[in-house]
Structure 1
């Protein structure tokens, strides 16, 4: 269904508020910025901000649903004969090689993570998101493999995958802080992903191969 004019305008207003709030957070820190300040720079009322973003941290994590769902979507959409773990790792490599914002390859990512780490509220939200990603991915893996309810394997695999993603993102922030060209950053991160993959057993790497329907 095509997006209507009203829906498009609401989406644009929401995105503008989030973008301006994020700019303020990056400049001043999360705790120092008030909702009133966000409303002022976005040229909307405080009530409008709360209508779109019930919690202040929602302004920074405006793509939370998309981020939480992404690994599960990659697993569901993997090609025939592709194991679940390789589908996620291959996409992570592609994101890094293409310097996709999903991989935190933007030079501003280090400051973005610094803002989160300086705020207990944002850190709590980030940890909750990571838990949701694991839960969602474990559910998807269970559905894809038909694993029994008492089989812990889907959850163990989900924890490993999300842990690897988190490790890459932390290293991206460190690499940004130390400088270097985008090409050097990509090369180093791809090397690190290769190292992580080499530490996984074949049973993990070949888990949940997608069969022909």
Structure 2
């Protein structure tokens, strides 16, 4: 998932990702091999692994985006804006724009179904959550303006966001109307930030 300057460049990476996503959505993650993805993308299996170190990363391919968003929320926030406000603004902006990382994008349902059907993807998603938690904790720990408990805030934020995301996924998979689910998703995120503000941000 981390985006590195691999042979073939971003166009090759994008082609591999698109081919993999189509196959996984059509047949399920566990039923598709890396060799099949390579053939569909017109590359070798070696090239696939140069861009995506793990098969799971072919589908869960936005970790680098999430890392960039977390780092920007801490490092690039305007003067006078505290970390929690910046994290809240970033999170709600994702919802407002229906960004893929928001969990309420129009293509989220088939994505969620594919993840839910694969123990390997579920396990990798949990690993990614732990990686993002560590990233945020490191960023907060390096920020001289943050005086709270960096480890606790990172843990509660990532766990809370993940909880909201999983509950939203379950409702969408079950066929709940998209509009009310998005509304509830946003409201629960607001409650998460209120709890963080009162509990661990200071």
Q: Establish whether TM, by shorter chain, passes 0.5.
A: yes
The answer on 1:169 being equivalent to 2:165 is yes
Structure label with greater radius of gyration: 1
Distance 1:165 1:93 in 2: 11
| Cα distance change on mapping 1:190 and 1:40 into 2, 3 Å | same
Distance 1:146 1:78 in 2: 12
| Cα distance change on mapping 1:98 and 1:53 into 2, 3 Å | closer
Distance 1:8 1:105 in 2: 33
Distance 1:203 1:168 in 2: 18
How many residue pairs get matched? 197
Structure 2 segments unaligned to the other structure (5+ residues): none
| Cα distance change on mapping 1:57 and 1:163 into 2, 3 Å | same
Structure 1 segments unaligned to the other structure (5+ residues): 1-5, 208-213
**CA-atom RMSD in angstroms:** 2.6
Q: Which has the higher contact order (CA 8 A, sep 6+)?
A: 1
Q: Paired residue for 2:177, among 149, 174, 180?
A: 180
The answer (yes or no) to whether the contact 1:134–1:158 under 8 Å persists in 2 is yes
The answer (yes or no) to whether the contact 1:107–1:176 under 8 Å persists in 2 is no
**Corresponding residue for residue 113 of structure 1:** 112
**Corresponding residue for residue 210 of structure 1:** none
The answer (yes or no) to whether the contact 1:69–1:136 under 8 Å persists in 2 is no
| Cα distance change on mapping 1:59 and 1:79 into 2, 3 Å | same
- Render the CA deviation track for 1:65-95: whole Å, top value 9, x for unaligned: 2223421321111122222112111221122
| Cα distance change on mapping 1:7 and 1:40 into 2, 3 Å | closer
**TM-score (structure 2 length as normaliser):** 0.84
| Deviating 4+ runs (over 6 angstroms) | none
Q: How far is the alpha carbon of 1:107 from its aligned partner?
A: 2.7
**Corresponding residue for residue 70 of structure 1:** 69
**Corresponding residue for residue 32 of structure 1:** 31
The answer (yes or no) to whether the contact 1:72–1:137 under 8 Å persists in 2 is yes
The answer (yes or no) to whether the contact 2:6–2:50 under 8 Å persists in 1 is no
